[in-house]
């Protein structure tokens, strides 16, 4: 008797009276670690991509898929923290330990260091009011110099003011895009997410962030 497609794919049946019932026992998977990012993606699949979730579940690939998501996100965040640490070290002229302390306390930009209440900065373990005050002074001096340089370069490159107002783009990103010919919100709106990510470099934006920025640039098309 010719095998069914189900049998050719490794499926089996059990007889129940006059009927053959497919054995739908889920294949066993090697269990890999799934942390918070994998769990969040799992909830997303269950709510918004049910067909993909069921396909991964019934094919025995769900755990591997979520574990890969977890590893990719952890690597992305590790690289992101390295970039942030380097920026703090260069902008504030501090060592790696202080940069790591700022990141551990939730600071991601020099602007946040400049604007946070001094009392909050001085509460960081290992900091006192003098250290906090000096860091904040350095942060403000860096921002003042950066803004002046950005204004000069923007004028030279002919960057549209509306591009500067797109949420999610910082000054470095805007200058990088302008150097590659993206100087208006229409130029930005014409890009696909992967193009934007490639222009800005590895680990600068996630796909979700890139799509959000592009949709913000396209918003005026639909007004």
Q: Is residue 83 part of a domain?
A: yes
Q: Is residue 199 part of a domain?
A: yes
Rounded to whole angstroms, the Cα distance separating 148 from 124 reads 31
Q: Is residue 101 part of a domain?
A: no
Q: What is the dihedral of CA 32, 34, 35, 40, to 10 degrees?
A: 170
pLDDT tens-place string over residues 161-175:
999 999 999 999 999
Q: Is residue 98 part of a domain?
A: no
Rounded to whole angstroms, the Cα distance separating 80 from 78 reads 5
Give the pLDDT of residue 175.
95
Query: Residues 21, 69: one domain?
Result: yes
Predicted structure pTM score: 0.63
Question: Which segments in the chain show pLDDT lower than 50?
Answer: none
Asked which of 156, 174, 192 is the last residue of a domain, the reply is 156
Query: Residues 77, 17: one domain?
Result: yes
Give the pLDDT of residue 80.
82
Number of structural domains in the chain: 3
pLDDT tens-place string over residues 86-111:
999 999 999 999 999 999 999 989 99
| Residue range of the domain that includes 74 | 13-90
């Amino acid at each position: 008797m010719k095998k069914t497609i189900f049998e050719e794919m490794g499926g089996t049946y059990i007889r129940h009276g006059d009927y053959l019932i497919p054995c739908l026992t889920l294949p066993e998977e090697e269990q890999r670690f799934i942390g918070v990012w994998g769990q969040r993606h799992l909830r997303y699949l269950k709510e918004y991509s049910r067909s993909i979730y069921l396909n991964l579940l019934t094919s025995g690939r769900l755990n591997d898929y979520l574990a890969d998501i977890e590893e990719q996100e952890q690597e992305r965040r590790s690289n992101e923290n390295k970039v942030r640490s380097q920026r703090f070290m260069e902008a504030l002229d501090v060592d790696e330990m202080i940069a790591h302390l700022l990141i551990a306390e939730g600071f991601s930009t020099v602007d946040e260091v400049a604007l946070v209440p001094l009392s909050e900065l001085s509460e960081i373990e290992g900091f006192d009011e003098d250290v906090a005050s000096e860091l904040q002074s350095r942060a403000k001096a860096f921002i003042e110099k950066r803004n002046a340089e950005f204004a000069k370069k923007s004028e030279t490159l002919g960057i549209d003011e509306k591009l500067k107002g797109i949420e999610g783009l910082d000054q470095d990103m805007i200058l990088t895009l302008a150097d590659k010919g993206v100087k208006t919100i229409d130029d930005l709106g014409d890009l696909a997410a992967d193009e934007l990510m490639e222009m800005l470099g590895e680990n600068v934006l996630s796909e979700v962030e890139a799509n959000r920025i592009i949709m913000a640039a396209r918003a005026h098309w639909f007004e």
